[in-house]
Amino acid sequence: MAGKITNFLREAQFPISIILTIFGFVVLFIGATGLWYNNLCFLPKAYLDWSFYLLLIGFFVFIAGVYYLFIFLKNRKFVLEELETNKRSELLKRHNELKSTVKHMPSKFQKMLSDKEEELRIK
């Protein structure tokens, strides 16, 4: 069961981070609106009582979404730049770092690495 969840989260890492970022921003906006503009607010009174907590939750979810999005994009850029090379020696220099990075990314990148290893005859 844990393996299935981990595989799903690994394969859907990019969309999940975008959804977290958007959801965090919306909750952060609702919390800020309820906290600072409570007399002009379009939200019911029940939400206004929780606006400070919504602000905190939205902030942390937004930061987590942005962090995971940044990490994914940074790793994706690194992998694609390293797999661009046609020189075996250049790929061997960063092979261990490349393998550890690809291990935490979707299977598409693992397939790309294995294809490049076969092309350059790296074991």
What whole-number distance in Å separates Cα of residue 62 and Cα of residue 88?
Answer: 41
Q: Which of 55, 73, 68 is nearest to 21 (CA)?
A: 68
Percentage of the chain exceeding pLDDT 90: 32
Q: What is the pLDDT of residue 58?
A: 95
Mean pLDDT of 75-95: 85
Under a CB-based contact definition with an 8 Å cutoff, are residues 48 and 41 in contact? yes
CA 38 to chain centre: 33
Q: What is the pLDDT of residue 114?
A: 87
Residue predicted with more confidence, 123 or 60 = 60
Residue predicted with more confidence, 95 or 21 = 21
Domain boundaries, the chain: 2-120
| Per-residue tokens: 88 | 């075996």
Mean pLDDT of 62-68: 96
Taking only the tens place, the pLDDT of each residue in 16-63 is 999 999 999 999 998 888 888 766 656 677 777 788 898 999 999 999
What whole-number distance in Å separates Cα of residue 74 and Cα of residue 67?
Answer: 10
Under a CB-based contact definition with an 8 Å cutoff, are residues 18 and 69 in contact? yes
Q: Which of 20, 49, 48, 53 is nearest to 33 (CA)?
A: 48
Residues in the chain: 123
Q: What is the pLDDT of residue 69?
A: 94
| Per-residue tokens: 120 | 């350059």
Residue predicted with more confidence, 39 or 10 = 10
pTM for the whole thing? 0.81
Summary mean pLDDT of the chain: 86
CA-to-CA dists, residue 5 to 8, 11, 51, angstroms: 5, 10, 32
